[in-house]
Amino acid sequence: KILILGACGQIGTELTLALRARHGAEAIIATDIREGQVELMASGPFSVLDATDFRAVEKIVQDHKVEEVYLMAAMLSATAEKSPSRAWELNMNSLFHVLELARQQQFAKLFWPSSIAVFGPSTPKDNTPQYTVTEPTTVYGISKLAGEGWCSYYHRKHGVDVRSLRYPGLISWKAEPGGGTTDYAVEIYHEALAKGQYECFLREQTRLPMMYMEDAIRATLELMEAPATRVTIRNSYNLGAMSFTPAEMAESIREHLPGFRIGYRPDFRQEIAASWPERIDDSKAREDWGWEPRYTLQDTTREMLTRLRDRL
């Protein structure tokens, strides 16, 4: 059985659906602090579960004889800046609980998402290497960097098979993103279809590493299914696909909606975005377990506009 904590989030929703397609609905125990969107809730068993409640997580692991855990519950960068202590508690205590259960051999394999947010202003921004300076300036980035250290520690000291990816900004249509700095890259499609225009909260030329959700889900499953001997990085793998600015994104939308207009009104999230890399070097993921992205910005824009139109 596979347990997903945070199954109703932007990644959790699609991860749950992909794992259910692969292993069967009953093999996946989906949990979150509250219910999620319709398709997810109709796809198989769901339980309300607080990922920071050790006894509750332990009980569900034991009751269902869970062998694998995906901890997708977290507070993202923008929201975390407004609630630092709650962000730290959610992001760290949930991780400690599952690392401890894995150390006690109550389950065998753990996935935990990190982020390009572990990099800061002192990190080289172009082709950011796997090994480089990591001085995050956001609450979220600090928690993700600390979490990477604990994952590596539990692997080295206790042999825990924990695997992690430094996701770039993720673009998806099935579930809304929640409180991220890269969420502009999702909102823009909704607004382009609804209003023909979008007011972006980042600057026109802010270049960020991004990825379409299909690629992110495939990377997660490929990493988790790789032989343990191929997984040589046990803090977290750099993972990349594309990099673009809001201006370039608007251009790709105008290929489908010629009249689309974009305006810029940077807010506090601009400072967060400006502290992150522009392009990621993910050669270690490519060497170790054969990572290869498939979606470009053009593919992403075509997919997003088509799917959102069909849903409207």
165-167: strand order across its sheet = 114-115, 165-167, 237-238
Interface positions, 60-89, toward ligand VAH (CB under 6 A): 76-77
Question: Annotated catalytic sites, by residue?
Answer: 140
Spatial contact of 277 and 136, defined as CB atoms under 8 Å apart: no
Report if residue 182 touches ligand VAH, rule: CB under 6 A. yes
CA distance 236 to 116: 10
User: In angstroms, rounded to a whole number, what is the distance separating the alpha carbons of residues 156 and 234?
Assistant: 9
CB of 110 or CB of 171, closer to ligand VAH: 171
Helix (H) or strand (E) holding 212, with range, is strand 208-212
Q: Residue 238 interacts with ligand VAH (CB under 6 A)?
A: no
Number of residues that bind ligand VAH (CB under 6 A): 12
Taking the C-alpha atoms of residue 189 and residue 254, their distance in angstroms, rounded to an integer, is 11
Identify residues 114-143 at the interface with ligand VAH (CB under 6 A). 115-117, 140
Tokens of 49: 């579960």
- Residues 19-58, one symbol each (x = binds ligand VAH by CB under 6 A, - = not), give ----------------------------------------
Question: Please, which residue, 53 or 135, has the CB nearer to ligand VAH?
Answer: 135
For ligand VAH, which residue of 44, 147, 169, 293 counts as binding (CB under 6 A)?
169
Least distance in Å: CB of 140 to ligand VAH? Answer: 6
**Phi/psi-derived region of residue 196, left when phi > 0, alpha when psi is between -120 and 50, beta in every other case:** left
Tell me the C-alpha distance between 10 and 115, whole Å.
Answer: 14
Distance of closest approach, residue 57 Cβ to ligand VAH, in angstroms: 23
Q: How far is the CB of 216 from ligand VAH (least distance, A)?
A: 10
Cα 223 from Cα 289, distance rounded (Å): 7
Q: Residues 134, 181, 206, 252: which binds ligand VAH (CB under 6 A)?
A: 181
Give residue for tokens 């609804």. Answer: 194
State in angstroms the smallest separation of the CB of 217 from ligand VAH.
15
Which part of the chain contacts ligand VAH (CB under 6 A), choosing from 35-43, 174-182, 227-235, 279-287?
174-182
Q: Does 293 bind ligand VAH (CB under 6 A)?
A: no
Rounded Cα distance between 168 and 241, Å, is 8
* Window 252-291: contact mask with ligand VAH (x via CB under 6 A): ----------------------------------------
How many angstroms separate the CA atoms of 144 and 147, rounded?
5
Q: Pick left, alpha or beta for residue 44 (phi over 0 → left; psi -120 to 50 → alpha; otherwise beta).
A: left
Q: Which sign does the torsion angle of CA 93, 94, 97, 99 carry?
A: negative
Among all residues, whose Cβ is closest to ligand VAH? 180
Residues that bind ligand VAH (CB under 6 A): 76-77, 115-117, 140, 168-170, 180-182
